């Protein structure tokens, strides 16, 4: 159980996240991240609970598999291992319109 999500799963996630960001946030990844990251608290990082919410919104997994998705994603994305997904960590994996800022 020590494997992270594989590339195929990541690609599926990216597609579904992109569809969600396009549909709900007009393709604005900054807005999508901030909205999700500050949903349960105002720390501007995505914790496990907020990630589960985003997965549900994006139609990823079901109530049985979603928690495994969340664990796999955190393992893959959380480079500094603090249990939260910072914006840079999120964007490095999922964002598909890189280069609009910084």
User: For binding to Ca ion (CB under 5 A), which residues are involved?
Assistant: 37, 41, 43, 78, 80, 82, 84, 86
Minimal distance, residue 35 CB to Ca ion, in Å: 10
Minimal distance, residue 19 CB to Ca ion, in Å: 23
Distance CA 75, CA 72 (A): 5
CA atoms within 13 A on the CB side of 69: 23
| Strand (E) or helix (H) holding 76 | helix 66-77
Minimal distance, residue 71 CB to Ca ion, in Å: 14
Using CB positions, name the residue nearest to Ca ion: 78
């Amino acid at each position: 159980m020590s494997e992270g999500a594989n590339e195929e799963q990541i690609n599926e996630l990216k597609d579904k996240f992109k569809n969600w960001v396009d549909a709900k946030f007009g393709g604005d990844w900054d807005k999508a991240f901030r909205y999700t990251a500050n949903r349960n608290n105002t720390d501007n990082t995505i914790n496990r609970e907020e990630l589960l919410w985003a997965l549900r919104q994006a139609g990823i997994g079901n109530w049985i598999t979603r928690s495994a998705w969340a664990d796999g994603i955190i393992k893959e994305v959380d480079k500094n291992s603090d249990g939260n997904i910072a914006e840079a960590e999120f964007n490095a994996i999922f964002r598909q319109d890189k280069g609009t800022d910084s």
